[in-house]
């Protein structure tokens, strides 16, 4: 199995006629993802390499039965694009757009919560999601992910960092370890999907046998995840927290990655996760090696 998306997921790409939308949308399709339509207002009736374009998400959903959307539009248009997809009944939305103002993210998050409780948003500012061999929505290179095996053990990955998401996937591939699903939740202050959302899904998925979690400085998401792990997660885990050497008060890459008032430090997060029974790597490679040890013991 996998979480959130699988081989039956039907995907539309909002912004398929744009440069980034076309590049990544076609890569997703060529990977084997069931990309059924694109949406660009005013361009209905056109197509991009055989993928039909519609003016609205509602039209695309009505024609194709799509249940997921890949939002690849500029920051000004992204909040409206997300809400348009939700209003059309799309259950899973991936938004890779970077640079959306935090207040717009908060408004969208709360609107989804209040008006569209059956819609899940992944992102914004995230690499997306890949269930290797089944579905890839976003900007992750499919060739770095090893599909899960029928017998396992298979690993689930959840990460705040895009680049470290890719490294985790490739570290496991080099060790011959299959991945059930890899979720990049993004590093913005108001993510649509958080660590706990993913951990609960991985815990419930019978084909995920162990979990890698990659966090970073700033906020309290990792500490909250540690509390959840302590109470609810029985599957073995390894983790890495980026930003050990980050100076206090300086934003490091992601909008949410900032240590302030002595809170959100890498050490505090590592301590909380270690107390919850998670094996902590001091670098991404070590986190992969720890997972290889875990998997070997599961074998």
Q: Buried b vs exposed e over 94-126: b needs ≥16 C-beta within 10 Å?
A: bbbbbebeeebbeebbeebeeebeebbbbbbbb
In sequence order, the β-bridge partners of residue 95 are 71
Q: What percent of the chain has pLDDT over 90?
A: 85
The predicted model gives 257-267 an average pLDDT of: 64
pLDDT band for 162, please (50, 70, 90 cuts). Answer: confident
Q: What is the pLDDT of residue 16?
A: 98
- Active-site residue (options: 254, 258, 284, 292): 254
The predicted model gives 121-149 an average pLDDT of: 97
Q: How many Å apart are CA 87 and CA 61, to the nearest integer?
A: 11
The predicted model gives 81-92 an average pLDDT of: 98
Instruction: Give the pTM.
Output: 0.94
| Helix residue ranges per DSSP H, the chain | 19-31, 57-64, 78-87, 102-115, 162-174, 195-204, 221-232, 266-275, 284-298
Work out whether strand 210-216 and strand 154-159 pair parallel, antiparallel, or are unpaired.
Answer: parallel
Closest CA to 142 of 33, 2, 16, 240: 33
Phi, psi of 90 (to 5 degrees): -70, 130
Q: How many Å apart are CA 186 and CA 204, to the nearest integer?
A: 22
Q: Angle 174-205-198 (CA atoms, 0-180°, nearest 5)?
A: 80
Sign of the four-CA dihedral 259, 197, 166, 268:
positive
Sheet holding 68-71, edge to edge: 47-48, 51-54, 34-39, 10-14, 68-71, 92-95, 120-122
Q: What is the pLDDT of residue 206?
A: 96
Q: What is the pLDDT of residue 244?
A: 76
Bond prior to 153 in cis (omega within 30° of 0)? yes
Q: Which two tokens stand for residue 198?
A: 């993913």
Q: Which H or E run contains 214?
A: strand 210-216
Estimate to the nearest angstrom the gap between the alpha carbon of 98 and the chain centroid: 14
The per-residue DSSP string of 115-136 comes to: H-TT-EEE-SS--EEEETTTEE
Structural domains in the chain, CATH included, are 10-122 (3.40.50.720), 141-298 (3.40.50.261)
Q: Are 217 and 240 in contact (CB under 8 A)?
A: no
254 is catalytic: yes
Which pLDDT tens digit goes with each residue over 224-254? Answer: 999 999 999 999 999 999 877 666 655 555 5
Number of other CB atoms surrounding residue 62 within 10 Å: 13
| Report for 220-224, 230-234, 295-299: range of highest mean pLDDT | 230-234
Q: Which two tokens stand for residue 22?
A: 């076309």
């Amino acid at each position: 199995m996998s979480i959130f998306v699988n081989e039956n997921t039907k995907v539309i790409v909002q912004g398929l006629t744009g440069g980034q939308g076309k590049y990544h949308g076609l890569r997703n399709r060529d990977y084997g993802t069931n990309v059924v339509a694109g949406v660009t207002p005013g361009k209905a009736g056109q197509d991009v390499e055989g993928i039909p374009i519609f003016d609205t998400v509602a039209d695309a959903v009505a024609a194709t039965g799509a249940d997921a959307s890949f939002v690849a539009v500029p920051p000004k248009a992204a909040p409206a694009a997300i809400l348009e997809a939700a209003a059309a009944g799309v259950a899973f939305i991936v938004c890779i757009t970077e640079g959306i103002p935090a207040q717009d993210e908060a408004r969208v998050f709360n609107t989804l919560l209040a008006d569209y409780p059956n819609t899940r948003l992944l992102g914004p500012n995230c690499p997306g999601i890949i269930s290797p061999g089944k579905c890839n929505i976003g900007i992750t290179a499919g060739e770095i992910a090893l599909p899960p095996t029928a017998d396992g053990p298979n690993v689930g990955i959840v990460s705040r960092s895009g680049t470290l998401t890719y490294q985790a996937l490739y570290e496991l591939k080099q060790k011959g370890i299959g991945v059930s699903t890899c979720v990049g939740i993004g590093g913005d202050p108001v993510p649509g999907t958080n660590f706990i959302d993913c951990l609960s899904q991985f815990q419930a998925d019978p084909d995920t046998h162990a979990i890698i979690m990659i966090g970073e400085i700033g906020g309290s998401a990792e500490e909250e995840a540690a509390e959840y792990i302590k109470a609810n997660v029985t599957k073995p885990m390894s983790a890495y927290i980026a930003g050990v050497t980050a100076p206090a008060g300086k934003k490091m890459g992601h909008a949410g990655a900032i240590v302030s008032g002595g809170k959100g430090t890498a050490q505090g997060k590592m301590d909380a996760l270690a107390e919850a029974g998670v094996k902590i790597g001091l670098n991404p490679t070590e986190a992969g090696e720890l997972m290889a040890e875990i998997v070997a013991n599961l074998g």
